[in-house]
Structures are given as C-alpha cells and as structure tokens.
Structure 1
Amino acid sequence: MSIADRHITALLRQAATGDTIELVHPFAEAETFGALVYIAECYGFRYESVRLVGKHRVLHVRLVRDPAPWARQRAAANSAAFPDPGPGRPVPGMYLGSLTPVPEAQPDVDVITALIRHDALGEAADRRKLLTVGWGAAALFGLMAPLTGQYAVLLPLAVLMPLMMLGALRVNAARRTKLARRLTAAGCTPVRDTAGRERFVRPVPQGF
C-alpha cells in the first residue's frame, strides 16, 4: 500500500466512525493535508483548525462534521458517485492511487492548503513566547559570560538571540500577509477568532 493509500485509508476510517477527524502526518507536506481535507469535505466534513503539538511542533489538522444542508447534499452525491473509496479505488478529486488533485479540484485544494499554512503560521507566531525565549536566552548567556570568562562567545549570543526571535516574527508576519492576500483573492472572508488571531472563512462551493 502506498503512502497516499495509507493516508486515505486512515482518513476514511475516522470519517466512518465519528464526527471529528484529526490528521497527524509528521513528515507530510501542506499540500498532502490540503488534499486530505478536500476528500474529507467531499464526505460532509469541514476544516476547523490546526494545532502545533510538542517540542517538534507537529502539525495536527482538525475537521468536524458539517451540519449545513449543502454539505450533506455534497456528501450524499459523492457517496453515490464513489460508493467504495479506498486503496486502489477512486476518491473524489484525486488521481487514482494518489493525493494529486485532478484539474477541477486543484483550485479548491490550493485554497485549503493556503488556509492551513496561514493558520499554522498563526499558531507558530506566539510573540510573547518567542520574545520570552529570546530575552531568557540573552539573560542566561549574559550571566554565564562572567562565570566562564567566555565573553567573546556568550555576549554576542546574548545580543543575537532576541534579534533572531524578532526576525522570525517578521518573516512569519510577511508570509501570513502573502497568504492572506491569496485567500482574499480566492473569495475568503477574514475574521477574528476568540484569541484575536486573523482567520479566513471560505465561500460556500458553487452548486450547493
């Protein structure tokens, strides 16, 4: 069984047994998550959020069952068109045996992928945490310098750590701004979540 088939099998198993799906594939690209979310949404789920878990910041993508009438209609249509999805069998929007979108699905997968990247960058951009790490490291190196006598090594590090954290925040913000422009151009609406972070709501697919 290919990696794509394993991902699809795990996705469909969750879809068949509950009202929530959590995708966790530590080495997968964002495009893989975008394709999997697309398939799940074809069967009545909707993308909800992402989390970065653990010290390695592993991406977790969460979906929930969508109660909207158009989502149920879409799920029924795809269940009829693809009654037996799985390894070696077709699934909505993908070439057989892969997570490569067919041309008709590619624009939707691109928007989902951009949305996941935007939200993941928002999760990573915890300004308070990054600055705490930067200034904490600077204080530690500053204290260690007179204790060890390694001024030439530790003092530059004490200066560089906060600057590196600020640089990371700026790069993150620039990437999110670029993705936000792409999502807006695709018809998505910017909103604020309960934590005050910018997120985007996609328009209802045409024909539903």
Structure 2
Amino acid sequence: MSIAARHVTALMRQIAMRDAIELVHPFAEFQTLGALAYIAECYGFRYSNVRLVGKHRILHVQLVRDLDPAARQRAAANVAAFPDPGPDRPVPGMYLGSLTPVPEARADVDLITALIRYDAFGAAANRRQLQFVGWGSGALFLLMAALTGVYAVLLPLAVLMPAFVLGALRVNRMRRAKLARQLAAAGCTPVRDGAGVERYVRPAPTPYGTPYGTPQGF
C-alpha cells in the first residue's frame, strides 16, 4: 500500500467515526496535509487549527464537523459521487491513487495549505519563550566562560546563540508576512483568537450544485 493510500485510509476511518479529527503525519509535507484536509472538508469537516505536540513539536492538524447547511449539502453530494473512497479508489479532488489535486481543486488545496502553514509558523514562534531561551543561553555561556576561563569557545557561543534564535524569529516573521499577503488576497479575514494570536478565516463556503472536487483525468 502506498503512502498516499495509508494517509487516505487513516483519514476515512476518522471521518466515519468522529466529529473532530486530527491529521498526524510527522514526515508529511504541508501540501500533503492540505490535500488531506481538503478531502475531509469534502465530507463535512472544516479546518480548525494546528497544535505542536511533544518534545519534537509534531504538527497536529485539527478539523471539526461543519454544521453549516452548505457543508452538509457538499458532504451528501460527495458521499453520492464517491460511495467507496479509499486506497486506489477515487476520492474528491485528487488524481487516482495519489494526493495530487486535480486542476479544479488545486486553488482550494493551496489555500488550506497556506492556512495550515501560517498557523504552524505562528505556533512554532513563541516569541517571548524563544527570546528567553536565546538571551538566557547567551548569559549562561558568559557565566560559564567567567567561571572556567574557556573564553575562546564560550564567548563565541554567547554571541551566536542569541543571534541564531533572533534570526530564526525574523525568518519566521517574514514567512508569515508572505503567507498573510497570500491569504488576504484570497479573501481571508484576519482575526485574533482567544490567546491573542492572529489567524485568518476563510469566507464561508457557498453551496455546490455538483460534488466538491469532482475528479477528472483518471
């Protein structure tokens, strides 16, 4: 069974059993997670948020059941059009046997992927915590240099560690700014969540007269 087939199998199992699902694939690319989230949305879910879990900060993508009538209509249409989705069988919006979106679905998959990336970069960049780590490590290396006399090694580390952390924060901020422009251009609205973190909300989906992501090119 291919990796794409394993991802789809795990996703369809969650869709059938839960009202809130998580995509957890430690080595998956953002585009893969975006494609899986798109498929879940075809069956009545909606992307909610991300969280980073554990020591290695594994990305969990969260989706919840969408109770909007348009989402229910979309889900019913896709259940009728794809009655037996699964490994090596058609799923909405993807080429057969893969998680590569067909042309009609590509813009939606790209938008969901951008939302996931934006939220993931935000979750990874706890500015206050990272600044504490950066400046704290610099101070620690300075103290160790004074106590041990090993200035040649510890003094450069006292400079490099804060510089590395602050540089990472700057890169993260630039990436989020670029994604923010992309999301705003797609009609998404900036909001602040309960923790004061800036996020983007997509426009409410409109009802579809045909199944969401009808496949082609098989």
Asked if Structure 1 and Structure 2 have the same fold, meaning a TM-score greater than 0.5 normalized by the shorter chain, the answer is yes
**Cα displacement (A) at 1:206:** 3.7
2: distance between equivalents of 1:53 and 1:207? Answer: 35
Instruction: Tell me, yes or no, if the aligned pair for 2:21 and 2:62 is still in contact at 8 Å.
Output: yes
Q: State the SS of the aligned residue for 1:83.
A: coil
1: distance between equivalents of 2:161 and 2:2? Answer: 43
Q: State the SS of the aligned residue for 2:103.
A: coil
Q: Which runs of 5+ in 1 are unaligned?
A: none
TM-score of the superposed pair, with normalisation by structure 1: 0.97
Matching residue of 1:84? 84
Runs of 4+ in 1 over 2 A off after TM superposition: 204-208
Aligned CA-pair RMSD: 1.0
Matching residue of 2:137? 137
Matching residue of 1:125? 125
Matching residue of 2:155? 155
**Cα displacement (A) at 1:178:** 0.3
Counterpart amino acid of residue 109 in structure 1? V
**Cα displacement (A) at 1:155:** 1.1
**Cα displacement (A) at 1:180:** 0.4
Matching residue of 2:31? 31
2: distance between equivalents of 1:157 and 1:88? Answer: 52
Instruction: Tell me, yes or no, if the aligned pair for 2:38 and 2:109 is still in contact at 8 Å.
Output: yes
Matching residue of 2:43? 43
2: distance between equivalents of 1:85 and 1:185? Answer: 33
Q: State the SS of the aligned residue for 1:80.
A: helix
Instruction: Tell me, yes or no, if the aligned pair for 2:70 and 2:206 is still in contact at 8 Å.
Output: no
Counterpart amino acid of residue 69 in structure 1? P
Instruction: State which drifts further: 34-43 or 48-57.
Output: 48-57
Matching residue of 2:202? 202
Counterpart amino acid of residue 154 in structure 2? L
Q: State the SS of the aligned residue for 1:96.
A: coil
Cα displacement string for residues 90-134 of structure 1 (whole angstroms, at most 9, x for unaligned residues): 000000010000000000000000000000000011011101111
**Cα displacement (A) at 1:187:** 1.0
1: distance between equivalents of 2:53 and 2:185? Answer: 30
2: distance between equivalents of 1:156 and 1:55? Answer: 27
Report matched runs for 1:51-62 at 5 Å: 51-62=51-62
Q: State the SS of the aligned residue for 1:104.
A: helix
Counterpart amino acid of residue 52 in structure 1? L
The alignment status of 1:185 with 2:185, answered yes or no, reads: yes
Matching residue of 1:12? 12
Report matched runs for 1:108-119 at 5 Å: 108-119=108-119
Instruction: State which drifts further: 29-38 or 125-134.
Output: 125-134
**Cα displacement (A) at 1:162:** 1.6
TM-score of the superposed pair, with normalisation by structure 2: 0.93
**Cα displacement (A) at 1:58:** 0.9
Cα displacement string for residues 52-75 of structure 1 (whole angstroms, at most 9, x for unaligned residues): 112211110010000111000000
Identity across the alignment (%): 76
Instruction: Tell me, yes or no, if the aligned pair for 2:71 and 2:207 is still in contact at 8 Å.
Output: no
